[in-house]
Amino acid sequence: MKDEFTAEEKKGLYKAIQSRRDVRSHFTSRPIKDEVLSRILNAAHHAPSVGFSQPWNFILIKDPQTKSKVKESFEKERKRSSKLVEEPKKSKYLSFKLEGILESPINLCVTYDPSKFGPFVIGRSTIPKAGLYSVCCAIQNLWLAARTENIGVGWVSILSNKILKEILELPNHVIPVAYLCLGVVNEFSSKPDLEKEGWLPRLELRDVIYFEKWGKKENLTWRNIQDFITTNLDYP
Amino acid sequence: MKDEFTAEEKKGLYKAIQSRRDVRSHFTSRPIKDEVLSRILNAAHHAPSVGFSQPWNFILIKDPQTKSKVKESFEKERKRSSKLVEEPKKSKYLSFKLEGILESPINLCVTYDPSKFGPFVIGRSTIPKAGLYSVCCAIQNLWLAARTENIGVGWVSILSNKILKEILELPNHVIPVAYLCLGVVNEFSSKPDLEKEGWLPRLELRDVIYFEKWGKKENLTWRNIQDFITTNLDYP
């Protein structure tokens, strides 16, 4: 495939990346079209996977009983984890809206099944977690595709995986990786909620890049890029 | 941000997802422009992260000595893992080209630092692996952005992380998540190498989707989407 990307196609990719948000509210009552949902699931299914093992499954959920049980687990875990943080951060943490389980029309559990095409999967015998990594790449594909379709996606990571496995009847060997809330939204926040609320700042790009070895922020052979990573970052 | 995506922008996102490949060969000698490299690193840095912890670092590598040491670890681990698989799969496995460490102009190690903004990170106290998941989302962002820039990316997962930590001088608490090979390529394979070689087939989308509970492939309330996930999948 030699297909070059046009400037606008390229812009679409970068725009999706820059404007994707973790959505916890503002879900509208408009249903997600089956066609659109299929398309974003297909995007997820085209993620890279270690040894081409495609170890993901997607459980689509709209049963209100299931959602209520999951929400209950969220409430319990949120309370429990709030004990790990001191005031004034504790109250701030408890004031955040961190999930949209009931408000979003569709919940989606993305799972990892290590038994798929196993036991020998190329690349997984040296790095056993590589299968989990593949599932995360699928989630990010779905998230970006959803953004271009005006579907908000929120990842609920305050949950008991043990309870989730019971609720969704997962076999023992299957690992729930993500519990996502999906719904049509009218707009996406200009910044991540936790950045806007002043919980944590966005790091500068130059703060997360090292040269040749851990911790090395200066290197003569990388001098030119050192200038670039402080400027010129967004796709024109 | 209300910005809708134009049809072409949307197509750009889906095209990147569908045509992204794990690249092990065909790297050209053309250098990656600093501007382009910065842009794809910035795309990675705009991934979602649990509690906005941004727990990733990117170590850029071009030192031939470092590359040689990493390649050595690959060779050793490949040999070791080939003992886990029987003939005729063993010979087939050993015939595959599974890395481009020396041929690609730039190697990139993406790491996870659990200590960043810690110890309390929202959402990570209930699901400790969530930090690792964030790093994987960053990798997928980078991979897709690279695709639109005609940069091939190959993930080497046949490696000893212990050796890698020594080579790159990672602190004990930092986990290497991915070792990537990056370079300008002229074309991308129409299918993943392992699919083309007949190692494993691509699963059908309908084979990875369940309704409401694990293992349920039929559900009256999801009937319409059951038709869709067998057809109409690619973005027009």
pLDDT tens digits along B1-15: 456 899 999 999 999
- Residue A75 amino acid letter: E
Strands A106-112 and A151-155: unpaired
B157 and A61 within 8 Å at the Cβ level: the answer is no
CA distance B191 to B202: 10
Which helix (H) or strand (E) element contains residue A61?
strand A56-61
Please give the structure tokens belonging to residue A42.
């297909």
* B95: closest CA of chain A, how far (Å): 12
The SS3 assignment for A131 reads helix
What tokens were used for A232?
């010129």
Candidates B192, B205, B209; nearest CB to A60 = B209
Q: Determine the average pLDDT of the residues in A142-158.
A: 97
pLDDT band of residue B166 (cuts 50, 70, 90) is very high
Chain A residue whose CA is closest to B156: A123
| Geometric angle at alpha carbon B120, from B115 and B122, rounded to 5° | 110
Q: How far B209 CA lies from chain A's nearest CA (Å)?
A: 5
User: Which of B12, B215, B225 lies closest to A10 in CB terms?
Assistant: B12
Q: How far apart are CA A19 and CA A149, in angstroms?
A: 12
| Residue-wise pLDDT tens digits, A52-96 | 999 999 999 999 999 999 999 999 999 999 999 999 999 999 999
> CB pairs below 8 Å between A and B: how many?
347
First to last CA, chain A: 25
| Residue A61 touches partner B, C-beta closer than 8 Å | yes
The CA distance from B131 to B44, in Å, is 15
Helix H or strand E segment including A10: helix A7-19
The answer to whether the Cβ–Cβ distance between A12 and B35 falls below 8 Å is: no
For residue B189, what is the DSSP state?
Answer: -
Q: Which pLDDT score, from 0 to 100, does residue B131 have?
A: 97
A188 interfacial to chain B (CB closer than 8 Å): yes
* Cross-chain residue pair A157–B22, CB shorter than 8 Å: no
Q: How confident is the model at residue A236 (pLDDT cuts 50, 70, 90)?
A: low
How are strands ordered across the β-sheet holding B56-61? A209-211, B56-61, B106-112, B175-184, B151-155
Kindly state the average pLDDT of the residues B24-37: 94
The pLDDT value recorded for residue B228 is 87
Chain A nearest CA to B25, separation (Å): 15
Predicted local distance difference test score (pLDDT) of residue A227? 86
- A152 has a pLDDT exceeding 80: yes
3-state secondary structure of A106: strand
pLDDT in tens, B74-99: 999 999 999 999 999 999 999 999 99
Q: Which one of B89, B127, B150 makes the best mutation probe of the A interface by having the most chain A beta carbons within 10 Å?
A: B127
B194–A52 CB contact, under 8 Å: yes
Write the pLDDT tens digit of every residue in A100-117.
999 999 999 999 999 999
Residue of chain A whose alpha carbon sits nearest to that of B108: A212
Q: Which two tokens stand for residue B141?
A: 């962002």
Sequence-distant (6+) residues with CB within 8 A of B190 are A1
Picking from B126, B227, B235, the nearest residue to A159 by CB comes out as: B126
Cα(B120)–Cα(B89) distance, integer angstroms: 46
Residues of chain B contacting A213 with CB distance shorter than 8 Å = 59, 168-169
